[in-house]
Structure 1
């Protein structure tokens, strides 16, 4: 399957993604643990059906030392014993922040309070930012049908 539009050569999308990538750098440089960042990106991408981002962030996580067991269990994190309480709180926030149309009021106070028990204000801000950012990337990739499977860690810089 070919993409409907090349996200990497479109002048308009190139300018948009330049700014999104800059926002991503702010999050990457934050105190939010790198493993948590990847778990959140993978889970949101799974929910959104974004094969490209699921491929990318799974491979990036492996390159950063993440285990196959944890990666294989992200979609069923509630039943898995391999995630910390903090990671579980981040995954819950990511799911609710991704599925905002599924529940009246979006993210529950309970999910927010649970995340706030594990992350300070800067980390919570980074968590909100990464949830918003990965959802934007997922939507762009799904709309243009960006194919998955060919990503190689480091190919974008």
Structure 2
């Protein structure tokens, strides 16, 4: 399948891409643990059905040293025993923050309070920013049908 749009070929989108990539870099360098970031990226992309991003983030997680077992179990994190309580809290915020249109009204107070037990305000701000950015990237890629399978870690560093 070919993409409907080449982000970098249009006159408008390169400017936006530059800012989104800058925002990604800020979050990547935040105090939110890198492992947590990778797991959240995978889960948000799975929920949104973004094959391009699932491909990218599973490969990036493996490249960063994440185990195949944990990467494969992200979709079933509630039943899996391989995630820390902090990672589980972040994944729950990611799910509720991504599924805001499903009638839950966003992230519940209970889920937020649980995350706040594991992360400080700076980390929570980074987590919220990461979820918002991933939802943006996912929607752009799904709408334009960016194909999955061709990403290699480091290709955009």
TM-score (norm 2): 0.98
CA RMSD of aligned residues (A): 0.8
TM-superposed deviation, 1:98 = 0.4
Separation (CA, whole Å) in 2 of partners of 1:103 and 1:74: 23
TM-superposed deviation, 1:9 = 2.2
Counterpart of 2:36?
A: 36
Q: Does 2:127 match 1:127? A: yes
Counterpart of 1:61?
A: 61
Give SS of 2:44's match: helix
After superposition, give the CA deviation of every residue in 1:127-150 in whole Å (9 maximum; x if it has no partner): 000000000000000000000000
TM-superposed deviation, 1:7 = 1.7
Give SS of 2:17's match: helix
Counterpart of 1:118?
A: 118
After superposition, give the CA deviation of every residue in 1:35-84 in whole Å (9 maximum; x if it has no partner): 10010010000000000000001000010000000000000000000000
Displacement over 4 Å in runs of 4+: none
TM-superposed deviation, 1:8 = 2.8
Judged with a 3 Å threshold, the aligned counterparts in structure 2 of structure 1 residues 104 and 77 are, in CA distance, closer, same or farther, namely: closer
Counterpart of 1:2?
A: 2
TM-superposed deviation, 1:120 = 0.3
After superposition, give the CA deviation of every residue in 1:87-139 in whole Å (9 maximum; x if it has no partner): 00000000000000112421100111011000000000000000000000000
Kept in 1: contact 2:43–2:74 (CA 8 A): yes
Q: 5+ residue gaps in structure 2?
A: none
Counterpart of 1:77?
A: 77
Q: 5+ residue gaps in structure 1?
A: none
Counterpart of 2:14?
A: 14
Q: How many residues align?
A: 157
